[in-house]
A and B are shown apart, each in its own frame.
Chain A
Amino acid sequence: EAGVTQFPSHSVIEKGQTVTLRCDPISGHDNLYWYRRVMGKEIKFLLHFVKESKQDESGMPNNRFLAERTGGTYSTLKVQPAELEDSGVYFCASSPRTRGSAFFGQGTRLTVV
């Protein structure tokens, strides 16, 4: 069974550009999470989908970040326009249940220059 897949694995963009990250969760997992780790700090929650609905987006830094999960399958996280402080590793995770542990993808390393 395939795990959580994230694309791209690395992205380097200039300040002011737009970047879209994609996450394919494990098939059948209704719960999908986005997290971010900046410069060796803690892994911080961004938002949580249950199927196509946003259950909790309290961790989204600002309105430059937009997450979608059309059809309740894969999810995208768009940053527009990107700023220097957006650099970090973005992790997606999925889970069959709201409670308990989640399976993480390998992450997308975003560098804004």
Chain B
Amino acid sequence: DQQVKQNSPSLSVQEGRISILNCDYTNSMFDYFLWYKKYPAEGPTFLISISSIKDKNEDGRFTVFLNKSAKHLSLHIVPSQPGDSAVYFCATGSNTGNQFYFGTGTSLTVIP
């Protein structure tokens, strides 16, 4: 019973274009959302987060959008760079809870 779904297992984007990664969650009690990036043979690395009191958070080339009514989260990377090629995991949970629920990941390939 997955609490977080990333329905696109993979995505390919041309260098310089925008990458949009999507995530849906089921529990409206979740109030904190994160994106992690993972390279092969490494652990996930925190990328960006957003709390439920906001609908957008920006950090350089990375922007996370939150649509609470749709229970939908997205990560925009612009412009995309070859070094962005990695697996991206969406994670959600309560900010007061002990655990986060992760999606299955989306493998992004940025083509030079």
Contacts and interface: CB of A to CB of B under 8 A. Distances in A.
B102 A105 contact: no
Contacts of B70: none
Contacts, number: 57
Nearest to A89: B43
Given A33-B99, A42-B103, A45-B100, A103 B46 contact: yes
A42 B99 contact: no
Interface residues of A, number: 27
A33 B99 CA distance: 8
A74 B95 CA distance: 25
B2 A4 contact: no
B46 A101 contact: yes
A11 interface: no
A26 to B, nearest CB: 12
B41 A106 contact: yes
Interface of A: 4, 6, 33, 35, 40-45, 48, 55-56, 58-59, 91, 93, 98-107
